[in-house]
Structure 1
């Protein structure tokens, strides 16, 4: 039996990874800022982090925040993993972190580099955006009478459970370096995703596409965050909406 520590183990992805690893017969430790007995703020590190890693064979690093601090957290985790003799560090990243000049993406890329240079056995998997995140963004936009979208924007959302399956399988294997990306089954216009969301939630909103400016928008418009050659996901956005809202069959594609 392998002892595996999952950081961010109570989050959207982490909790599913934990479930799959436990189902596989592993001893799994869940690390988060508030989940005992391994309640640790990775930005601070310290003896609590060392205790969480003691005797662990593998670490699956899912913890992340868009409020800053991912690089510091990763550095603390890597240093503690070295002290504990961890043999395999698995990190989940995002497709396009090396192509889209977004601050959060740059931080994820920096963490990838820290992992690769850690001296530990390592595996990095990049995935496209989860259905949950796309729905969260659309829910925010739909609070107004008019849904304003960035013109010519596309996305390739993937089912989080499928990414969890892949990440758990990688954690059970040997260090493999940078793995092929995982993308959702369809590259969709953001407008088509928005209309599918509105249909599924029964909201009537006008949808307006507005061109934006800047390097980040140009990178998204160019598809820097997409992985059409790795459309290995099976679950569609409409299927996700149907499971969450009990509808979604009328969602338009495009």
Structure 2
């Protein structure tokens, strides 16, 4: 029986990865997060708790991430512990565009990719486009104003988180594969179009205003650096997700 450790195993993506791996059977699946016992570990601090979590582990699926900072230190601590424990395979989930969009969080994710590649461990890196849930959180925040402001000229290619979890579980159960093909959602749509679907599904009425922004990161998003149109692997659309999550009918075009 192999032992697989999932970091961030209680998060949006990690908890589904854990479910998929447990459903596959014949594996011990450990969950590491800051609060999940018995492997409650702060990866940024490392320490004896981390060594105990990785002891006897064959494969690590690294889903833990902190958009507010700390990913690089967390990866250093995790990789060092994995080396000490003789871990065979490290699987890392990254984001499409980390090498093309100069956003601070993306730079950190790219730096972690480099750490994984240079770790001396067997490794696999999967990049995915943004999850549907991220767009919903964005639109929830933007819809609080009487007028809904969306960045002008920006498109997105959201993907269903469960489909990314399926792919990560598949990769975790296979041999190290290096950088694998990106996983993108099925549609590339303008943010304003996606926002209209959200408003229609939630019954909100807001005028939409396309707001030009400044900066290198915005230019990177406008140029589509975060998109993977050649890798429309996902099946579930944003409208499908809205219908499932909100119980709404077809939202597009409302």
Same fold (TM over 0.5): yes
Q: Match of 1:247?
A: 248
Q: Match of 1:133?
A: 134
Inter-partner Cα distance in structure 1 for 2:8 and 2:217: 27
Q: Which runs of 5+ in 2 are unaligned?
A: none
State the Cα deviation string for residues 68-114 of structure 1 (Å, max 9, x = none). Answer: 11000000000000000000000000000000000000000000000
Contact 1:199/1:248 (CA < 8 Å) preserved in 2?
Answer: no
Q: Match of 2:203?
A: 202
Contact 1:196/1:248 (CA < 8 Å) preserved in 2?
Answer: no
Inter-partner Cα distance in structure 1 for 2:144 and 2:212: 21
Q: Match of 2:158?
A: 157
Contact 2:88/2:121 (CA < 8 Å) preserved in 1?
Answer: yes
SS of equivalent to 1:149: strand
TM-score, structure 2 length as denominator? 0.99
Q: Match of 2:220?
A: 219
State the Cα deviation string for residues 26-84 of structure 1 (Å, max 9, x = none). Answer: 11000000000000000000000000001000000000001111000000000000000
Q: How does 1:43-54 map to 2 (within 5 A)?
A: 43-54=44-55
Q: Which runs of 5+ in 1 are unaligned?
A: none
TM-score, structure 1 length as denominator? 0.99
Inter-partner Cα distance in structure 2 for 1:48 and 1:237: 39
Contact 1:31/1:38 (CA < 8 Å) preserved in 2?
Answer: yes
Q: RMSD across aligned C-alpha pairs, in angstroms?
A: 0.8
Answering whether residue 229 of structure 2 is matched by residue 228 of structure 1, we say yes
Contact 1:13/1:164 (CA < 8 Å) preserved in 2?
Answer: yes
Q: How does 1:36-115 map to 2 (within 5 A)?
A: 36-115=37-116
Contact 2:45/2:74 (CA < 8 Å) preserved in 1?
Answer: yes
Q: Match of 2:16?
A: 16
Contact 2:132/2:159 (CA < 8 Å) preserved in 1?
Answer: yes
Inter-partner Cα distance in structure 2 for 1:46 and 1:153: 42
Question: 1:252: Cα distance to partner?
Answer: 2.6
Contact 1:193/1:252 (CA < 8 Å) preserved in 2?
Answer: no
SS of equivalent to 2:126: strand
Q: Match of 1:5?
A: 5
Question: 1:2: Cα distance to partner?
Answer: 1.4
State the Cα deviation string for residues 97-143 of structure 1 (Å, max 9, x = none). Answer: 00000000000000000000000000000000000001110010001
Inter-partner Cα distance in structure 2 for 1:28 and 1:248: 37
Question: 1:248: Cα distance to partner?
Answer: 4.4
Inter-partner Cα distance in structure 2 for 1:85 and 1:215: 41
Q: Number of residue pairs matched?
A: 253
Inter-partner Cα distance in structure 1 for 2:253 and 2:102: 30
Q: Match of 2:168?
A: 167
Question: 1:187: Cα distance to partner?
Answer: 0.2
